[in-house]
Amino acid sequence: MAQCVQSVQELIPDSFVPCVAALCSEEAERLTRLNHLSFAELLKPFSRLTSEVHMRDPNNQLHIIKNLKIAVSNIITQPPQPGAIRKLLNDVVSGSQPAEGLVANVITAGDYDLNISATTPWFESYRETFLQSMPASDHEFLNHYLACMLVASSSEAEPVEQFSKLSQEQHQIQHNSDYSYPKWFIPNTLKYYVLLHDVSSGDEQRAESIYEEMKQKYGTQGCYLLKINSRTSNRASDEQIPDPWSQYLQKNSIQNQESYEDGPGTITSNKNSDNNLLSLDGLDNEVKDGLPNNFRAHPLQLDSSSDPSNSIDGPDHVKSTSLLHETKKANTGIIHGACLTLTDHDRIRQFIQEFTFRGLLPHIEKTIRQLNDQLISRKGLSRSLFSATKKWFSGSKVPEKGINELKNTSGLLYPPEAPELQIRKMADLCFLVQHYDLAYSCYHTAKKDFLNDQAMLYAAGALEMAAVSAFLHPGAPRPYPAHYMDTAIQTYRDICKNMVLAERCVLLSAEILKSQSKYSEAAALLIRLTSENTWKGMDSDLRSALLLEQAAHCFINMKSPMVRKYAFHMILAGHRFSKAGQKKHALRCYCQAMQVYKGKGWSLAEDHINFTIGRQSYTLRQLDNAVSAFRHILINESKQSAAQQGSFLREYLYVYKNVSQLSPDGPLPQLPLPYINSSATRVFFGHDRRPADGEKQAATHISLDQEYDYESSQQWRELEEQVVALVNKGVIPSNFHPTQYCLNSYSDNSRFPLAVVEEPITVEMAFRNPLKVPLLLTDLSLLWKFQPKDFSGKNNEVKELVISKPEMIGAEVISEFLINSEESKVARLKLFPHHIGELHILGVVYNLGTIQGSTTIDGIGALPGCHAGNHCLSMTVRGRQDLEIQGPRLNNTKEEKTSIKYGPDRRLDPIITEEMPLLEVFFIHFPTGLLCGEIRKAYVEFVNVSKCPLTGLKVVSKRPEFFTFGGNTAVLTPLSPSASENCSAYKTVVTDSTSVCAALTSSASSVDFGIGTGSQPEVIPVPLPDTVLLPGASVQLPMWLRGPDEEGVHEINFLFYYESVKRQPKIRHRILRHTAVVCTSRSLNVRATACRSNSLEDEEGRGGNMLVFVDVENVNTSEAGVKEFHIVQVSSSSKHWKLQKSVNLSENKDAKLASREKGKFCFKAVRCKEKEAATQSSEKYTFADIIFGNEQIISSASPCADFFYRSLSFELKKPPAQPSVQTEKQSVEDAVRLIQKCSEVDLNIVVLWKAYVVEDSKQLILEGQHHVILRAIGKEAFSYPQKQEPPEMELLKFFRPENTTVSSRPSVEQLSNLIKASLHYPESFNHPFHQKSLCLVPVTLLLSNCSKADVDVIVDLRHKTTSPEALEIHGSFTWLGQTQYKLQLKSEEIHTLQLKACFVHTGVYNLGTPRVFAKLSDQDTVFETSQQNSMPALIIINNV
């Protein structure tokens, strides 16, 4: 149980006090009424004695009584009605609520921290009122009247005569059989005569003389002169006298005879009083039925209109609501005791002391003695009961019968003078004066008698009081006999069917158990009385609610608190409070219990509690609480059924509607549904992308439909940095930030984003509906505030904030947005800024509702006003939700790493800047599939859709080799797509068929094609006419595309960069992105090798010619429908070399390759003439074309040269090997470089082809080109990228290698190309062997130094080989003469040696046996030149 203000040792004595009746004359009543009090009420605050009182027990032992209190009340002749008592108790409980600023106890139990009100004043008020309002009954005497005060006024004509009248009245009430109520303790009741004297208006002399007369007649012990009203009530009070009455009168106690405020008590008009005062105790001063005074009706009498059983009627008992309200008003503004001074207070206190000391206690003492003597004589007991007490407390226990053996009846009734009742009477008297040990022994004796007689009601009463006496006995050696109480409760409840007495037992016993910390037993006791069916009706609900709440407090106050039991019983108590109509208490109980269930995963219990809290709060008009409770039901991940959720939602909407109607102009409320995932909010700046229009395809740019990809965003950033660096002379400005058109949770949102005026801002929000019922949002739009500003710096004044002015910012409204059950869905809302300034997007505003007929209401009834199904289901409320996005966690400084700090996220706070140009790009005839190397011509349309001119248009791409806009030579290209449909993409010239296989040369500079050496090949300026695109203007430019060399799907990113003609302070440039996806399929593989020609028959005679072998293979799989490839032209491009002619033997000019066929071409290449090569510093390349068809494609023009240069620059981008910087090795390095240069060639081969494709029974001709870059002699080069073989795994070596410097020796291959040796001899030689057996043939050995350095050469003619295969090939011949020559060749010098070969018979001989060794003059290493690449030098010796 909760803590109480009084301890149980104070509570029980205060609940059972001696009762004294008061009977006043009309005049006396009038005097007290001047203070707005009845006589009994006047004494109420002073009824407790301030000092200890002494009396003697039957054994003449002195007995001390502490804190004695007496109860004085007006005589009432009607017993109180149960209905009225119920109403009173109900009002007492509802009138007592927790104090506003009450500090709750915090109880920590396990992982619960509970705020619990430590006290329950409503329970204490209920208990006090309940105990005071118990009707007097025959089986006990505790609340029977012991004495009667007869009160008359000194101002009456014949006061003594008045006293006689009053005395007769009292006698008639007590002894006349017509009056069964009130009850009197003993026949000869103590009468105490009180003379009231009004000091302010009465005659003091007369009062004194009357008092003297009274003392003569009634004795000094039996009368008293009480002086009151020392001041007049209408005089303005100088001093503020305290009002001790208010606290008693507000408690609506039944014994102070005043009407309770709201109740159905009888309020009557006092017709006799002049000022028509309301008689507050509901009593009439008329004489009726021979009773001259005002004790006809009990104040708890229900009026006749509401209770037909009420026997009293008459004109006075008319209750009207207006009268009731007047009473309420009258009661509230009344000052009690207005005519009394503090001296009067002391006089009243003194009067009570005198009455108790001189009158009441001696009377009680005498009565106890009489009863004791009577019992001893009547029962023939030789000893007084007092000695029996000692025996009892020393422990001889009499065995009792169990309750179950007793007959199921409340048993017989005793006549008033029965000896058993005299024992009970004596016990009650002893109990009232706190003589507990004597009381106990009497109760115990009486209990045995009653049980023997089967008088169950009496027995239960004796058991109950015996238990209480045993507990209260100060020196009791025995424990509290709880089983007495249990037996009493069971008897009252089950046998006597008297719930009021059972309840009193429970209240007392629970208090006692609680004081002994037996919380578990107390809780069990309290719960026993709360079952629904024990006692039907509202009082049962109220009682059960209060007891369940106390039981809950018992559970929480245990040594180890039982938190869940506490919560469960609080819920039960809340339910019963609700049934009893105590809404506030019900709400409080549910809220207390909620602390336990909250957040523990008991979602259904939580929903139930929240729902009830919502309902109760709504009924109590605590609308905000109701809204928040319903809100909780909706936002928790509910496990309820769809119907239930629909019901909750409608209830919520209904309550919300009422809240919003209270303050229609207030701020919009925050709605709980649907959920918004704020961090998933995306903001897009700019117009939506236009859809493809026929052949026109708009640039993909950026849209909200694209998923974020970190890698691609990095690529775009790099591209933008490249072009910005180029525009800013190679340096990226410090204030550069990559352009972000779409902001999301991955983008960098730490700066305020920039938006352009008149360009829409789209905000995408992710909604989620957690419920199983659909939600319908209507009139959905963004909530924003805007601050107009001028960023140009002319005027820096900041205008006021604009919250919603459509001329500043236009907002899109979505009229209906449906989110199905448990669905996640995004909504995109646009804003249209019409003014520059700072915009802040705050959230969304919408009407929340649900669909009609989507769900049916289940068991839970709808709230009032929610009956009409359609109306209810289509109910909507307007509200808002804010978008609050948490920025990224900071993790840079030490402080940030150690604490949790978040940076700003400004994606919803764009700055609106001045107008900027806006470019749209369209691609016309843009292919999606190409063959590798295929050239296709498309057109690009650039449109300026803004009101500003744009300039500085550039495009940047990581794959510049994929496209070209044509060089400066592209004058002849058709300007519009329609005119060029059947043209070749190449620039061609018809050739004369006589020029067979000879090369046609031309030259071009890479500068013409925008590929200067210094610039970045990725950034390509777009050749706009006049370099400016005016507002609204559009221009179409041709664009050639070449399919990438690898097959597969290629994503090629284009980034278009442009600027405004007028410089803007905030935005320097804008970009537009396009991603082209091209799928390439295999076409041709080209591989080429260059090798030195051994012949020297060129013009210069310097040996500067090579053979170039080109292999072309058709690797196309016929899926693409390609029938065959025609090689139409092979061109070369180089600064030093050119193709001279084709040395293919076949006469077939047309080189066709069907699927999987391979063709081999051989060309002769020569060095360019000096005058051609001289201009190489100007990046001039010589182009030579060898034509296999009848049209020459001019390879030095667009687009052939463009793609050639692009592939070249792509190759050149590969990082060169870093030269080392060691000085002592420098000479070796130089030598090696010289040697390497010998074998270098920079000859580039371009193979141009046509493919015949059958598609939809139409034949198309595709054309394309492949490039092969020859770097070195003898090394095979490919047109397609070679797959790198992964290196084989090596075992790890766990030792430290010696620090050897890598020897920079040239490779064998490179050395072998240092010296070129060729033999000149006749192909066949005729010799008459029969004439001369030795045949001598002159042979010239030509040695050519290919390097720029001096070379020492050794020629060795001796046959070295010993292997038989070599002998077979060489045949047997010998060189005659010197077998070894040593010579030095200067740079690029050619030297001839005349040799003689000697043959002995005919045959075919290989003369290629001389071994040539060479070394650089300043080096030591000697090496052999390789002749592997040259043909075998075969000679035929014939015999003639």
The backbone torsions φ and ψ at residue 1229, rounded to the nearest 5 degrees and listed phi first, read -60, -50
Residue 457 buriedness (CB in 10 A; 0-12 / 13-18 / 19+) = buried
pLDDT per position as a tens digit, 1262-1309: 899 999 998 888 788 888 877 776 777 777 767 665 554 444 566 666
Give the residue from 1185, 1186, 1179 showing the smallest Cα distance to 1197: 1185
Q: Is the pLDDT of residue 979 over 50?
A: no
Residue closest to 1040 by CA, chosen among 1187, 1133, 925: 925
Residues 6+ apart with CB under 8 A from 1081: 929, 930, 931, 932, 1047, 1116, 1117, 1119, 1120
Strand pairing partners for 71? 19
More confident residue, 218 or 258: 218
pLDDT of residue 1013: 41
Which ranges of 133-232 does DSSP label H, i.e. alpha helix? 159-175, 204-218
Q: 896 — phi, psi (to 5°)?
A: -65, -35
Query: What is the mean predicted confidence (pLDDT) over 131-147?
Result: 89
Q: Mean pLDDT, to the nearest integer, of 923-941?
A: 90
Question: Residue 527 is encoded by which pair of tokens?
Answer: 């719960």
Tell me if 1262 sits within 8 A of 1251, measured CB to CB.
yes
Q: pTM value?
A: 0.67
List residues bridging with 844 in a β-sheet. Answer: 782, 881
CB atoms within 10 A of CB 5: 9
Per-residue pLDDT band for 71 (boundaries 50, 70, 90) equals very high
Q: Which long-range contacts (CB under 8 A, 24 or more apart) does 635-641 make?
A: 635/672, 635/673, 635/675, 635/770, 636/603, 636/606, 636/607, 637/603, 637/770, 638/603, 638/607, 638/770, 638/771, 639/603, 639/604, 640/604, 640/607, 640/772, 641/772, 641/858
**Average pLDDT estimate for 1195-1213:** 77
Q: Are strands 775-788 and 814-819 parallel, antiparallel or unpaired?
A: antiparallel
* pLDDT score for 102: 63
Cα dist. 1234→92, 551, 1207, 1274 in Å? 116, 106, 28, 18
More confident residue, 273 or 644: 644
Is 845's pLDDT higher than 90? Answer: yes
Average pLDDT of the residues in 454-483: 87
φ/ψ of 846, rounded to 5, equals -160, 170
d(CA 229, CA 235): 12
In this model, does residue 19 exceed pLDDT 90? yes
* Cα 554 to Cα 519: distance, rounded to the nearest angstrom: 5
Q: Which of 658, 854, 882, 828 is nearest to 775 (CA)?
A: 854
pLDDT digits (tens, 9 = 90+) for 1301-1326: 444 566 666 666 677 777 888 888 89
pLDDT digits (tens, 9 = 90+) for 638-660: 788 888 888 888 888 888 888 77
Measured between alpha carbons, how far is 1116 from 1121 in angstroms, rounded to an integer?
9
Average pLDDT over residues 677-698: 85
Closest CA to 865 of 627, 619, 581: 619
Q: Which of 22, 27, 359 lies closest to 162, judged by CA? A: 27
- In the three-class reduction of DSSP (H, G, I as helix; E, B as strand; rest coil), residue 868 is classed as coil
Residues whose CB is less than 8 angstroms from the CB of residue 1334 and which lie 6 or more positions away in sequence, other chains included: 1398, 1399, 1400
Read off the pLDDT of residues 1344-1365 as tens digits, 9 standing for 90 and up: 877 777 888 888 887 665 555 5
Does 880 or 1409 have the greater pLDDT score? Answer: 880
Comparing 1232 with 508, the larger pLDDT belongs to 508
Pick 598 or 460 by higher pLDDT.
Answer: 460
Q: What is the pLDDT of residues 182-198, one digit of tens each?
A: 888 888 899 999 999 98
Interior angle at CA 951, CA 946 and CA 956, nearest 5: 105
What average pLDDT does the segment 357-377 reach? Answer: 89
Q: What are phi and psi of 1222, to 5 degrees?
A: -85, 125
438 Cα distance to chain centroid: 71
According to the model, what pLDDT value does residue 1153 have?
Answer: 86
Give 441: exposed, middle or buried? Use CB within 10 Å, 0-12, 13-18, 19+: buried
